[in-house]
Each structure stands twice: as structure tokens, then as C-alpha cells.
Structure 1
Amino acid sequence: MKLDRCYLASYRLAEDRADITHQVGTDDVPAMPREIRLSDFPEAYREVLDRTLVVDDVARTAGISQTDRHNMAALGFGALVAATLRRGEKNPLWVLVAVSARPRHWSEGEIALLEEVSERTWAAMDRAAAETALRESEERFGQFANASSAGLWIRDANSLAMEFASPAAAAIYGVEPDGLLGDVKRWAALVVPEDRHGALARMEAALAGETAIHEFRIQRPSDGAFRWIRNTDFPLEDADGRVQRIGGIAEDITDAKRAIEHQGVLLAELQHRVRNIMAMIRSMALRTADGAMDVVDYRSLLEGRLLALARVQVLLTREANAGGFLREIIASEVGAQAHREDQFELNGPEIRLSPKAVEVLTLAIHELATNALKYGAFSVPEGRLCVSWESFEKRERAWLALEWTESGVPLLEPSKRRGFGSDLIEGRIPYELGGTGTLSLQPGGAHCRMELPLKDGESILETDAPMTFFGGMLDMTEAPDLSGRKILVVEDDYYIAGDTAAALRGAGADVLGPCPSEDATLNLLQSQTPTHAVLDLNLGGGGPKFDIARLLKERGVPFLFMTGYDPDKIPPELEDVARLQKPVPFRQIVEALSRL
């Protein structure tokens, strides 16, 4: 069109200005400033509110004010056409201005061409801006989807075909990056059959406009592992509110499920543990009373044993299921009783014990050290103690041998009464740890030798030891008579087992066992048949076990559970079995058995 300048301007009506965004031209018309004030061109501005402004001669064309003429001339304009794009009434958006340095007659064709170019340029810019915004939006979504640990996906509402799945979604499902795209059957095949119908039904809810949160299981092709998935399905609607697509967020919640389940197990184990400790304290109090000379002696003995038990718990709770080092245990108990360090020596390698062995040996060493203070090596100035230990092979496994040797002590008369310490060493070590223990008085002081297998085990109390038992008689006067009944006792805690058996014998029953483990019980049942049974559920740690209960039920032997677990741990087929909650009074055990 042989113009001298052409420029684009965006209107800023509220700010009384138009911004010059693009321009080209010759030297005959100087370059436009970055912005112009609309009030400097009052008549021209009013004209563009409704129509295209056409000026053939700035100096002579009617319809513009003197102010308009002066300011246009100052810009170097001789003639101009301002093709303004409007949206609504008196709402100009932007303008394409064609300028001639000299007066010029604009033909209808030229004016129409400028108006068309103005429309097309705006449309192209609008489309480019939309495409840029879309591209930026897609880039942001892509960055979000790639960074998200949750899987993001989009399905077509009609076919349910997967149109998009983020890398995390493919990783969660254990497939290639495009392994979920396409036919919904590709996804559904990964869902376990029992959960497939429910997962598809939640999609129907999203198609109906609802947001659905649901959980289901899949089996990953990559490793064959079963995983729990939590899906959030939601509708994606068009401008008319019709659901065109379904969007979703997939999260692998397997670890969270396991954590919740593990927490429940830990809570049950904690409840069981606390109840067993309370039962152990009760037995400890009863047995301490048998050996005490008076109330003061009883208080001192019981306090020392309770403190030793507390030290065990502190040691074991430093690190879950880690046990403790033998030297640390011995040094702690012996050092607390000795008057000075040169009274004892400790010789042996570093050996880590299982939690259960820590429990038993700590109490055993405490009893030996307490007796050494009262009667032995620590009771006289010239007394000395040597504790040595070593590991050795026995029955193709590692064992521990520990020697406790006192010297410099006047010979004492051996006691005919079996005390708490000797009962613990010679009874509890075989019963709970599957080892051996001997305690004797020799010239110079006490001597003790303990042997036990070195193995891992939970702190409540795993063993396949022989059925050696020592226990006192509990008063069952006026309790129900259990004469003629042959009652099997299955309990892995030495003291609880012993006191239960003593109570049953006191009521006239013949006791089979006690059995500390499942294997020992099954071996006994091969040769003997009880008339009744008392079963602990947590034999050797690791949670409740029901094989013995099912076997007794199959044989028609009535029994009851004596457990620290809550009722919800009992399977449905055994819900009708009587259950006594630990710690339970021994008379209550006798009464419950009498009702079977």
C-alpha cells in the first residue's frame, strides 16, 4: 500500500492511553512513542469507539478537532486509517493504524483490506497467545506429573480407554511407560479378580459426576508383587457440564497398610507383654515370700528383683529385638553389689545375647550377685569373684558356657531349701532357654555353671527345652475338686507355667507338662491323652498360634485359653473356647476348668 508507517496499539481506557506494541515505517514519518494519551486526540478517539477512523488530509478533513489536527501533524501524519477492533459497544481493544506522510485518498478497497488485516492479525495473535498458554499449561502439567510420586491418569468417558498415564502410574503398576494406555482391559487385567468389579464400579460413580475414593489390590507384572492401590476418581467436564473424561490419582499404600497392620500387631504384643510381666511379678512376689525371713527381708529381696527386672526392660527397649551384650549385663549386676573393683574379674569375649536370654540371665546374675553380697564373695574382705565365659560348638550350633566362681569365703552349710536363685538357674534356664544350670556351694564360695544355645528369639519366651519343673504348692483350699482329671498345661513362661501346674495339683489334678513350646506339646500328645487343657497362645513369640487348639478340638479334648491377647485375635472357629485374660488368679483357672 506504499505506506510511510504502520503500527499496532492496545487501548488502556482506564489509564487514558494507548500502548504502541509493534511498528514499521520509513523515515518520512518518525517512529511512534511507546504510548500516546487518548485525550490528546479527543474527536479521533470518539470516532474509533464506533467505526473505523478515516482521514484523507489531516489539515482539511472534517470531523476531527483542532487539537487532533495539531497533535497528528506533530507526529508527521498527513493521512491515516485507524481500523479498530472492538468487543461490545464502545469497547475498543486494539487498533491497526496505516499512516501516510502526505494527504491521500483511501479507497474503499484499501479501507476494507486494513479492516480485514486488523481482524486477521488479532485472530492470529489471539490464537498464538492461546497456543502459548496451552503449551505452558501442558509443560507445567508435564512437570507436575513427572515430579509427582502419585500416579496421575486420564480416561475417555465413553470408552474408558486410558489417554494419559504419568511415569509414576506406570511405576506403581509395574508396567512400561505406555503399558496402561488404551483399552481399559489392559488396566483391569492387573487388578486382582476379587477387587476388579468394585474398582470398575467406582469409575461409574465418576461418570455420574461424583468423586470416588477406593482401594484395591493389583499384581505387578514387573516382579509379581501384590500391592494395595488407593485411587481417587473424579469427573472432568466440558463447558456444558458434560463428563468428557475421568481423571484420577493412584497411590501405592502398601507400606502404609503394612505399617497399620504392624502397629496393630505391636499393640497386641505390647498388651500381651505387659500382662505377662504382671504375671511374672506376681509369681516373683509369691516365691520371694517363700524364702524371706521377715517383712524387711521380703521387701529387700523383692525390691532387688523388681529393679533387676526393670533394668532388663531398659536394656531391651534401647533397640527393638536387639538383645544385649553379656559383659555389660554381668558388669552392671556385679558392679552394683561389689564393694570395690578389685573384688571381681570378668573374662570372656564380646557376645550378644537374644532378648529372651538377656531376660533370664540378667535375673540369674542378679540372684548370684545378691547372694554373694549376703553370704559369699562380697560379704568378707578377702572374698573374690571370677566370672568367665566362652562360646563353643554343641549339636552343630553355637552355645554359651558361663562359670561363676567365688573364693575366699568360709564354708557354709548347704541349704536344704530350694531358693529363688537356684530355682531360676536350675529350672528356668532349661525350661525357657533349652540349656542347663547348676548351682552349688564349694570350699571357698558358690560355684555356678550355665550352658545355653546362642540363638535369636523374641523376649517372650521361645524355647524347646526339656520339661524340667520345680514349683511350690499353692493353697487351693475350698477350690473345686479336679481329682481324676489329667490336665495339659501349655505355657512358655517358666513361672506362670509352674504356678499354674502347682495350683492344678493343689486342686487334685494330674498335670501333663508343663510344655513350653508347640513341638514339646505335640511330642507329649503322641504318647499321652489329656482330659482337659490350658493353652497359652503366644509360644516362643511371633504372635498367637492355634494348631494345638485345633488338634485338641479335633480330638474332643475340652480346653481353655489363658492369654494376654484380646478376643479379636481368636479365629471364628475357636470363638466359643473359654478365655482367661492374663494375669489371672490361679483359683479362677481351677474354677474355669471345673466347668468344662
Structure 2
Amino acid sequence: MNKKNSGLAAAMAAILTSPQRLEVLRSVAPDMAVPDADFRELAEMAADLSGASIALVTLVDAQHQWFKAAAGTCGTQALAAESFCVHTIAGPLDDVLVVGDASADPRFSSLPQVAGAPFLRFYAGVPLVIDEQPIGSICVFDVKPRHDLGPQFRTQMRRLARVAASLFELKHEACQRALKEAAISREEQRHAMALDAANVGSWLWDVRSGSVSCNPAMLRMFDMRPAGIVQARDVFTAIHHEDRKATLSKLRSAMAQDEEYDGRFRVAATGRWLLGRGRVHERDASGKPTLFLGINIDVTEEQVSTQRTRLLLRELNHRVKNTLAMLQSLARQTLRQTSDPQEFMTAFAGRLQAISEAHGLLSDHEWSDIHLSALLAKQLAPHVRDYGRQLEIHKDEILLGPDQAVGLGLVLHELATNAAKYGSLSVPNGKVVVTARGVDEDGRRVLHMTWTEVGGPRVSEPAKRGFGSILIERSLGKVMGSSAKVEYLPAGLTAIVRLPL
């Protein structure tokens, strides 16, 4: 091989393996091995222009020449090293390579398609150039030598090459655009699904037309049926009438001052609370808002919890005041019964503990109803050694309100304290029988409870009533229609309690 041929081979190898050229090729035509009918007419135009029997639009990578479109042949590829077009892309970028008779040209005479079937003779090709890199060619072949092509032919072939290159770029841009749009669509779908799953209503209000575009979660929140177009007036009408004026005022203020809208309101149809947030997304040339973008979140549970907490605080404040008054009265009455400080502290501390136990149960249940069984266990357990043996309890399932629980708790404490000091719980074999039944009286539920001490010392009625007896009778004074009576029977003390529920 002489120096000239050696240099030509090196140039063609360099252009075939050029990283820059291959990068542009793979970027513009990642599917280079797949024929494309969009280029078919360009190949046919090249054949008509030259009168040749074969025309191709090709892409050339490091090893193969791929036919994106062909006229006059069923072939789809060839080896790059054995192709005419490798010489075309290795030459000047705007040149037309014309071979009048390949059999007489030492560069091509030994090629299989020249020395053998189909015995190609004529060839003309122009590089397809993108980003200054030759990625392929548009070319024509014939089995007869041709030497009669004028300058007009070269001009038209160059034009066809530029059109083919532009078409590759346009198709690449369209493909990239479609991929981006698909990615955006997927992202929008993910966002929409995430908002719907999180029950977040999103909306876009076209201020000029009054229409509102929103997601399904928004429609569910406002109890509105799916519709093609939702009008802003329908959304505003769906807001509870007590909250509508304030909500619209906040919305107008946010639009006028270019601030974020932030408001809470109820939906008229469901009563559920929504948190709304948003701001102007677009204004016209005069500064008037045209688009308002926002979201809504269902905050009913939070709102209900806040209201419940406020009610509980008010209830607690009321109970604390009542309890302080009760404690002051207990302290005064206990002092009247004893002048011994130690005896006072013991008696007062026990009564204070009884109130505390009742308050603790009520607090655990957020100052709602508590079970009688829980109150019995809290007040009686500290005064017995064996709860199951020393207490025999027969009861219905009874619920007590706060006033009933505090008052009855004091009664039970006084009865148990007295029984542990002087009554049936002061001896090993004594016990207390408690019977508690809920009965209906004139359409109202009433607790009838009997406390009976058995197996204890013989009982006689005291000459003077102590504060404990007085406290038992007066502890239920805050519950209208209640009563508590103590009877000193010889077999054991008996107390009868009537308590409206």
C-alpha cells in the first residue's frame, strides 16, 4: 500500500471511530438500525434527480452503514469499511463525491459489490452534517458508468442532504420533546395521585371567566359532583353561610395586597372544616389578577380536637372552682369535729384523696362518664386486705357523670373509712355487700345503691351524729333529687343511696 492509500485509510478509520461524530450520531439517531419511512421520499427524489437505479439515505457508525430509507434495493445495511459512503463522510463536509466508473477507480474497484454482483459502477453521495459532524449520507448508485452529470445535479444533491439532516434534527427534537412531555405528564399524574391520596384539594381559579379547575379531592371536600367546568360562585356558595363573608374577605384582601390567602371555613353540606391556602399565580398587564392557585386540606379532626380541648379547659376550670369550694367546706367541717391537728390531718387527707381519685378517673376519661365499677375499686381498695373476699358487689353496668362521680366517691370513702375503723372491715371475717341497680323512674335513669356491712361488731346508733354521717348525707347535694341515708342496724351499718344519672 503506497503512502497515499495508507493516508486515506487512516483518515477513514479516524472519521469512523471519531468520538465526537459517534456521540452526535447516537444522540440524533439512537434507532439508526431501524428503517424510517419518513426518509423514503428523499431517497426517491435523489433517484429521480440522477436517473440512478438505487438511492439511499444512510447512517454510518464505526462498523456498519445503516439504510434508513432505500429506493431500488431491499438491503438494510452494509459494512462501513466496504462502503462508498465512508469516503464521502471522510471528505469535505459540503462536497459531492462522484464516481463515474467504480471499476476504473482504484479506491473502489476491489469492493465486492463492484467486482461482483450487482457490479456497481456509478456512485454519487453527499454527507449528512449535524453539529459539524458527518453522520451519514444521501447517495445514488447505478450499474452503468455515468459521466454526464452537470453542476445542477450537485446543487440539488446538496439541498437534499441538508433537508435530510434537518429532518433528522427535527425528529430528534420532537422525540426529546415528547419524552419531556411524557415525563412532565407522569410527574403531574404522580402529583395528582399524591394529592388525592393525601386528601389535598387543589384548584386553579380563572378570575376572568369565573371557572375553577380542580382535582377529585377538592370536589369531594365540597360535596360537589364531578363536572366538566366548576364555577367559582358554586364553590363560594358551598361554604357555610356563617363563614362565607369572612372567607371571601380574606380572599379579596390576599388578591389586592398580593399576599398569601390563609383561612378556615366549614362546608355547608357536610359541616366539615377546611383549611384554604393560595395566592395569585398570574396578573394581566394592568396588574389585575387573572389566575389564583390554591389548595384545601380537611382539618375537621384538628378543629374538633381544638374545640374539645377548649370545652375541657372550661369544664376543668369549673370543676376546680367547685372542688376548691368543696375542700374549703370539708376543711371547716373537719376542724369543727376535732381539735387534734394530727387527727385533723388524717381525716382531711383521706377525704382529699377520695376527691383526687374521682378527679383522676374523670381526667382519664376527658371529664366524660366513668364506670361505677372503676369508682368502687378506686375508693374501696385502700381499705381492705382482700378485695375479692371482703367485698361482695352486685351491680348493673352504670355510667356516672362528673358530679355524680365526685359526690358518690366521697360517700364511698366515708363509708369505707368508718367500716375499716369501727365496722365490718375492722375484723378479719367481716365484709361489705354492695348492691347497685339502675332503674327507670318516670322516664329517667336512677341509681339505687345499698351498702350493707355483715360479720362485724354489733352496731348501735351513736348519741351524736359525726361529721362523717353528715358528709355522707350532704356529699350528693350537687345532684338534684339525690339522697343518702345511714341506718345503724344491730347486725351492721346500712347505707341507702338514691342518685339520678
Q: Please, what TM-score do these two structures have when normalized by structure 1?
A: 0.59
Residues 151 and 313 of structure 1: is their aligned pair in 2 closer, same or farther, counting only changes over 3 Å? Answer: same
Instruction: Tell me whether 1:452 sits opposite 2:492 in the alignment.
Output: no
Instruction: Tell me whether 1:152 sits opposite 2:198 in the alignment.
Output: no
Give the CA deviation at 1:425. 2.4
**1:293-328 CA deviation, whole Å, 9 max, x = no partner?**
522222222232233223223322333345333344
Instruction: Tell me whether 1:133 sits opposite 2:175 in the alignment.
Output: no
Instruction: Tell me whether 1:324 sits opposite 2:376 in the alignment.
Output: no
Whole-angstrom CA distance in 2 between matches of 1:248 and 1:414: 78
SS of equivalent residue, structure 1 residue 178: coil
Whole-angstrom CA distance in 2 between matches of 1:306 and 1:284: 9
SS of equivalent residue, structure 1 residue 378: helix
User: Partner residue of 1:591?
Assistant: none
In the TM superposition, what are the counterparts of 1:543-554 in structure 2 within 5 Å?
A: none
Instruction: Tell me whether 1:54 sits opposite 2:54 in the alignment.
Output: no
User: Partner residue of 1:166?
Assistant: 215
| Cα pair 2:479 2:500 within 8 Å, conserved | no
Give the CA deviation at 1:98. 1.9
| Cα pair 1:152 1:169 within 8 Å, conserved | yes
| Cα pair 1:315 1:323 within 8 Å, conserved | no
Residues 435 and 276 of structure 1: is their aligned pair in 2 closer, same or farther, counting only changes over 3 Å? Answer: closer
Whole-angstrom CA distance in 2 between matches of 1:283 and 1:122: 96
Give the CA deviation at 1:224. 6.3
SS of equivalent residue, structure 2 residue 396: coil
Whole-angstrom CA distance in 1 between matches of 2:201 and 2:63: 48
Give the CA deviation at 1:232. 0.9
SS of equivalent residue, structure 1 residue 230: strand
Give the CA deviation at 1:276. 4.1
Whole-angstrom CA distance in 2 between matches of 1:288 and 1:9: 109
| Cα pair 2:434 2:452 within 8 Å, conserved | yes
User: Partner residue of 2:68?
Assistant: 23
Q: 1:97 aligns with which of 109, 134, 137?
A: 137
User: Partner residue of 2:408?
Assistant: 361
Whole-angstrom CA distance in 1 between matches of 2:360 and 2:66: 77
Residues 137 and 439 of structure 1: is their aligned pair in 2 closer, same or farther, counting only changes over 3 Å? Answer: same
Instruction: Tell me whether 1:196 sits opposite 2:248 in the alignment.
Output: yes
Give the CA deviation at 1:236. 4.8
Instruction: Tell me whether 1:266 sits opposite 2:308 in the alignment.
Output: no
Give the CA deviation at 1:443. 1.6
Instruction: Tell me whether 1:437 sits opposite 2:478 in the alignment.
Output: no
| Cα pair 1:81 1:98 within 8 Å, conserved | yes
SS of equivalent residue, structure 1 residue 452: strand
SS of equivalent residue, structure 1 residue 285: helix
**1:446-505 CA deviation, whole Å, 9 max, x = no partner?**
221001122xxxxxxxxxxxxxxxxxxxxxxxxxxxxxxxxxxxxxxxxxxxxxxxxxxx
In the TM superposition, what are the counterparts of 1:149-548 in structure 2 within 5 Å?
A: 149-156=199-206, 159-162=208-211, 164-178=213-227, 181=230, 184-190=232-238, 192-205=244-257, 210=258, 212-215=260-263, 217=265, 219-220=267-268, 223=269, 225=271, 227-236=273-282, 245-292=291-338, 294-340=340-386, 342-381=389-428, 383-407=430-454, 408-419=456-467, 421-432=468-479, 434-454=481-501
- Aligned-residue RMSD, C-alpha: 4.2
SS of equivalent residue, structure 2 residue 96: strand
| Cα pair 2:276 2:294 within 8 Å, conserved | no
| Cα pair 2:59 2:137 within 8 Å, conserved | yes
Residues 342 and 448 of structure 1: is their aligned pair in 2 closer, same or farther, counting only changes over 3 Å? Answer: same
Whole-angstrom CA distance in 1 between matches of 2:482 and 2:60: 98
Name the one with the larger helix percent: 2
Give the CA deviation at 1:112. 1.2
Whole-angstrom CA distance in 1 between matches of 2:129 and 2:335: 108
SS of equivalent residue, structure 2 residue 426: coil
Aligned residues: 416
| Cα pair 1:4 1:28 within 8 Å, conserved | no
| Cα pair 2:200 2:218 within 8 Å, conserved | yes
SS of equivalent residue, structure 2 residue 476: helix
Residues 42 and 439 of structure 1: is their aligned pair in 2 closer, same or farther, counting only changes over 3 Å? Answer: farther
Give the CA deviation at 1:136. 4.0
Give the CA deviation at 1:365. 0.9
**1:411-432 CA deviation, whole Å, 9 max, x = no partner?**
345142441x323321231433
SS of equivalent residue, structure 1 residue 123: helix
Whole-angstrom CA distance in 2 between matches of 1:218 and 1:380: 64
| Cα pair 1:170 1:180 within 8 Å, conserved | no
SS of equivalent residue, structure 1 residue 369: helix
> What letter is aligned with 2:218?
A
**Share of identical aligned residues, percent?**
22
| Cα pair 2:88 2:125 within 8 Å, conserved | no
Q: 2:128 aligns with which of 65, 83, 100?
A: 83
**1:250-274 CA deviation, whole Å, 9 max, x = no partner?**
3344443443343333334344444
**1:204-231 CA deviation, whole Å, 9 max, x = no partner?**
45xxxx45223264654xx264744413
Q: Please, what TM-score do these two structures have when normalized by structure 2?
A: 0.68
| Cα pair 2:411 2:475 within 8 Å, conserved | no
Give the CA deviation at 1:5. 4.2
* Structure 2 residue ranges without an equivalent (≥5): 1-46, 48-52, 115-119
> What letter is aligned with 1:196?
L
* Structure 1 residue ranges without an equivalent (≥5): 11-16, 61-65, 455-596
| Cα pair 2:452 2:494 within 8 Å, conserved | yes
SS of equivalent residue, structure 2 residue 469: helix
Give the CA deviation at 1:382. 5.6
> What letter is aligned with 1:203?
M
User: Partner residue of 2:156?
Assistant: 109
**1:58-107 CA deviation, whole Å, 9 max, x = no partner?**
999xxxxx9xx79xx89999643223234xxx5x5x84522456798653
> What letter is aligned with 2:137?
V
Give the CA deviation at 1:367. 0.8
Give the CA deviation at 1:201. 4.2
